[in-house]
Amino acid sequence: MKTIAIYHHKGGVGKTTVAINLAAALSKKGKRILLIDIDAQANTTFAVGLIKFQLEEHDDLKDKNVYHLLESGTSNFIGDIVRKSQGFIYPEIDVIPAHISLIERQQELTRFSAVFFRLAQKIDKVKDEYDIVIIDTPPALDLYAQVSLIAADYLIIPSDLKPFSNQGLISVQNFIKQTINESKEGLGKLPLKILGVLPSKISTNAQYLKNTFLKQKNVITEKYKLPVMESVICERSALSHCINQSIDLGELEIPDPMSIISYAEKKSDAGIAAAEFELLADEVLAKIE
């Protein structure tokens, strides 16, 4: 089993889009996937179809989410918390959901030093049940990010390659060097291996791709000394449309999101976006296997 964190200190770089659709593409290739959402925005949880309710009293996630994995070392294991995605991909994948209450409950967790290792320890207990675990992390240098990266074997850094995103790579590198790898060493785990910076939310404009894009990629390797992945995830309308699907249920409009892989089976114009994630899945498998 391999664990991959999807992380960048800067938000808005397509982190959740990468996490969910990479999970779907790997699942289509026959891999047993566990997708963990540890971002209080819960965008991954929404995208895999687990927030279909419209009224607060129907919220069935508040008492069983990723927080409960972290709060105790002797109870609430992955098998107790895991859900199946709903309408996201066939076959559906296993998901540990997030919840908005993660924000206010972070302070409770910081009182216990053992919390930083609990996710890693609980993932290890299901190492025979999954081939790949993907963790969608918050765009922060907080406890949840630290817990995620300590648990991970590999890291993908989605980036739109713009100046602020590039400048944020220094924080990512320092976080890994000064905090994450030291903690992993204490667990007897190998240092976090960076698979690469993944160009994400990239414009499809031909002039941009010919000129600016190549210069931006060179900055990553030359200035920041980080590898750049061969795959490129472009900014395409289909990636937004597949998440914003809905169905009418009586007087309510219920969210009905799906992966780009499933969406492309219904909409031929989504095929290019789906193919980009299939290529990304191939690249990831080649690098971790």
Please tell me the distance from the alpha carbon of residue 242 to that of residue 43, in angstroms, as a whole number.
13
Q: 234 is written with which tokens?
A: 């472009």
Please tell me the distance from the alpha carbon of residue 17 to that of residue 33, in angstroms, as a whole number.
16
Distance of CA 51 to the CA centre of its chain: 17
Alpha-carbon distances of 43 from 27, 123, 264, rounded to whole Å = 19, 21, 21
| Bigger pLDDT: 93 vs 11 | 93
For residues 148-154, average pLDDT = 98
Q: What are the tens digits of pLDDT across the range 35-48?
A: 999 999 999 999 99
pTM: 0.95
Q: 144 is written with which tokens?
A: 């949840």
Work out the burial of residue 133: count CB atoms within 10 Å of its CB; fewer than 13 is exposed, 13-18 middle, 19 or more buried.
Answer: buried
Per-residue pLDDT, 55:
66
Per-residue pLDDT, 183:
92
The mean of the pLDDT values for the chain is 94
Per-residue pLDDT, 257:
95
Answer whether 116's CB lies under 8 Å from 145's CB: no
Q: Is the peptide bond before 257 cis (omega within 30 degrees of 0)?
A: no
Please tell me the distance from the alpha carbon of residue 16 to that of residue 153, in angstroms, as a whole number.
19
Please tell me the distance from the alpha carbon of residue 50 to that of residue 286, in angstroms, as a whole number.
31
CATH of 2-288, picked from 3.20.20.10, 3.40.50.170, 3.40.50.300, 3.90.1530.10, is: 3.40.50.300
Q: How much is the CA Rg of the chain, to the nearest whole Å?
A: 18
Vertex 62 angle, CA 57 and 63, to 5°? 110
Answer yes or no: is pLDDT of 263 > 90: yes
Q: What are the tens digits of pLDDT across the range 77-133?
A: 999 999 999 999 999 999 999 999 999 999 888 888 899 999 999 999 999 999 999
